[in-house]
Structures are given as structure tokens and as C-alpha cells.
Amino acid sequence: MSIREISMYIDGQAVPSQSQEWRDVVNPATQEVVARVPFCTAEEVDRAVASAKAAFKTWRKTPLAKRMRIMLTLQALIREHTEELAALITEEHGKTLPDAAGEVGRGLEVVEHACSITSLQLGELAENAANEVDVYTLNQPLGVGAGITAFNFPIMLPCFMFPLAIASGNTFVLKPSEQDPSSTMRLVELAHEAGVPAGVLNVVHGGPDVANQICDHPDIKALSFIGSTNVGTHLYRRASEAGKRVQSMMGAKNHCVVMPDANRSQAINNLLGSAFGAAGQRCMANSVVVLVGEANQWLEDIVEGARNMKVGPGTQRDADLGPLVSPAAKERVERLIGIGEQEGARLLVDGRGYQVDGYPDGNFVGATVFADVKPEMTVYREEIFGPVLCVVSVDTLDEAIEFINANPNGNGTSIFTNSGWVARRFESDIDVGQVGINVPIPVPVAYFSFTGSRGSKLGDLGPNGKQAIQFWTQTKTVTARWFEPENVSSGINSTISLS
């Protein structure tokens, strides 16, 4: 099998890197090297930013309708190439093909939302705010934007960034994860096939040095980051200190509350899918279930469901979860499971040492369940980012709300109940940005903004929806008065020339 050599994308074309530092991209089910990705040089990053800066001069003045038509073409191309993109995700990330196709679909939703840019970017006008004075606003692009994405959604996360940014008239420099870049690169190729002009969308690759250069670069005006808390906090501070507008969506410890009046089978099935889908490598995964009152009797059903979760390579369509992205990720998850045992959590299902026939080298960890988990335990405090579910037992809804609100993170939470009163009480009192009611992963549709809170988010504005347009534009307010011309020939009021 030939090994792909990943290029940069600068000024509308794939450009080979001259870097001396390269990283292997590995199939996590087999450890087979499928591609090599460069860690770009500082000069190459500067070249990408310069291309974006030059393109901004004309792109910012491109009619809204033309930008809209490009987005319309891009959404059609993504739909046409969904299977191809999903296969690339599965090959380099490991998630199952149905899960990968679902990711492409969530990214597609954002592109479809960007097709509404002709109405999303409208300003406001007040006629005669004063005597013959009009006041109006213009929502204008910032300039060069940048995005840095994590490995776990190589299509969806870039779609959370560049479509609305460039549809708003900005140009863009994207740094995808070095662990699974091929699907992102194919997405960028489709964007140019759709008509995105040269220089409007550029891609560089690398690690911390490239990310830091993006934060520091004086010609980049705004940065969007989605990834881990440690990295996100660092990049937010560094880019903010450099004068950039920044949004940083970071880690989480999401909770799912199960009330005793919930639909038992639906609640458990949804919980298992949320906790173990994508091998738990989701920032919105419900990795903690809070069983309330008599719902604690459902623990045996949760354990049985976890034991029946099928593990296999992503290409195996009946697999419930695929491999973790890397051997290092597998080692970390299994180490944290061991720490959980040492600290006194009750290990009911142990996914360590999982073997899949025909894939002896895969990064597989089976579904894992801990009970009797306490807030001070490492398995509760840390985002494990693997197929590990922590079970917490409380007696009342008030205890569940208090428990969740005490956690420093606020990305997402869910509740399963058949009581409208309970659901309304929960959504009102819970201090978390995204709430699901009988919905296991409450990521909103793309025309609503992604709204994590507290330790899961830095910056006032999130991706998608109206907030994304606010993030990628700046408001210019114009106060205008026009006087009747003096010393002109009679009849001007009816024969004004516009030549």
C-alpha cells in the first residue's frame, strides 16, 4: 500500500512542505502507516498567512450572493463525497464507518447554515434616529482568521470554523490535527472545487510550534480552537495577549441524569451510545451517569449493556466502538482505569487488554464501567477520553443538580425523565452550557450556537449559529446626514445624475 504524503494548501493549491520534521499517520486498528504529515517551517506558516492576507483585499468585497453560491456548491460536494470522507476518517481516526458518516453529516449542517449568509450578515438601520439622521450598522469581516482542531472530529471541527468564517468575508488558515489530516485535506480540496478562490482557505500542519506561531502572528485577527483544556487555555491566553479575538472550546466531564420515571430501555440505550460511541473520544460524551432514587436499580442493565458492546475495527459496520486513536491514548486510558481501582471505585466491567480477532496490534479498549465513584477520584476529575463510564448514585434531583454544578466543567449534560416539571427544573437550575432532555448528546443543530460554559469554554462567543457570525465579523456603526446641495441649477430634485 502506498503511503500518502500530506501537502500544505497555500494560494489555492497543494504545496509540498520542505520541512525536515515529519510524522507518521497510523491506522489505529492495524498500526499500519498510511500517510506522512509535515511539521511546517516558520517560513511556510508565514507564507500561508501572507496568501490569506493578500486574498482578503478582494474576497472581503465579493458579493454575498456569490459567497452563498460557493457554499451551496460545497454542501452538494460534501454530500456527494460522504462515503469517501467517512472512509478517510475511519482509516486514520478509527471510529466506525456509520459514526464517521454521521460526523460528516454534522459538518454538512454547518455548511448548509453558511448558505444563509445573505441574511445572516445583515446589519440594522434606524431611519430618522434624529432629524434627517440615519443610523445603521455594517457587519464587516475581520481579516485573516485561523483555526486549530483536535483529532477526534477531523471533518466536523473544521466545518465549525472555516465555512462561516469565509462566508462572512474573512480568509482563513487552518491547522488540522497531525494525527488524522487526510479527511480534512480532502474537505479543503472540495472547498476549492466549489469555487473558493486561491488564498481564501489555506492549510498548514504541525505541533505546538506551529500553533504558537499562529497565536503570535500579527496578521491573524481571530483564532478558533477546539480541543483539550490544557492546550486550549494556553492558546487562549497567548492569542489574547497578542491582541486576537479568541474562542476556545475545551474539555469536559459531562453528566447524564437518569430519573426513576424515565423510559428505562430508551434511557439506557441512549446512555450507552453516548458514553461508548467513538470509543468515548468525544468532548460531548456523557462519561458520568447520575442515577437518582429508584433508578439505581438499573445499574445491572447498564452493566449488561456495556458487556454487550461490540468492539472492532471501524470498517466492521456492526461494531459499536472502534480503536482509540493511538497507542499512547490506549495506554493512558488503561492506566486511568487502574488508578480508579486503586482509589476505591468499584470496577464492574473492565475493558483493558481487549483483543479483536485479526487485529492483534489495534488500540482497542472495551467498554468499562465504574460504580461508587466519588468526586475526589481521578477517574471523575480527569477527562479520560476513552470508553469509561462512571456511575454516581444520589437520592434526589436536588442532589444531582448540586453534584453536577460542583464540577468545574460545563460543556454538556442530559436528563432522562417523563416529567415536564423535572425537566424544566433541571434546565433552569443546571449551570451547564448545553442541556439535553431525553437526548444523550446535546450538540445543537448548526443554526444554534455551541454554548459550553465555565471550565469548558473561554471567550464569549461560540461556534455556529448567530454567535459565529458575531465572532467572525466586527460591527461598524454609521451615523449619516445628507444636506441638499447648494448652488446648483434648478430642477436638481427631479434630475439628479448618478454618473
Cell of 382: 480527569
CA distances from 352 to 8, 244, 333, 336, 392 (A): 38, 43, 9, 11, 22
Instruction: Tell me the C-alpha distance between 325 and 191, whole Å.
Output: 26
The active-site residue out of 115, 256, 283, 390 is 283
Q: Which of 280, 270, 248, 27 is nearest to 152 (CA)?
A: 280
Round to the nearest angstrom and report the end-to-end CA distance of the chain.
65
Beta carbons within 10 angstroms of residue 200's beta carbon: 27
**DSSP 8-state symbol, 311:** B
Cell of 378: 481521578
Longest dimension (CA), the chain: 94
Residue type, 290: V
Instruction: Tell me the C-alpha distance between 151 and 209, whole Å.
Output: 17
Q: Are 460 and 453 contacting, i.e. CB atoms less than 8 angstroms apart?
A: no
Q: Which of 295, 296, 271, 299 is nearest to 285 (CA)?
A: 271
Cβ within 8 Å of residue 371, ≥6 positions away: 299, 345, 346, 348, 391, 393
Q: Catalytic site residue 283?
A: yes
Can you state the percent helix, strand and coil of the chain, rounding each to 5?
40, 25, 40
Q: Are 140 and 214 contacting, i.e. CB atoms less than 8 angstroms apart?
A: no
Q: Which residue has the cell 458575531?
A: 470
Catalytic residues: 283
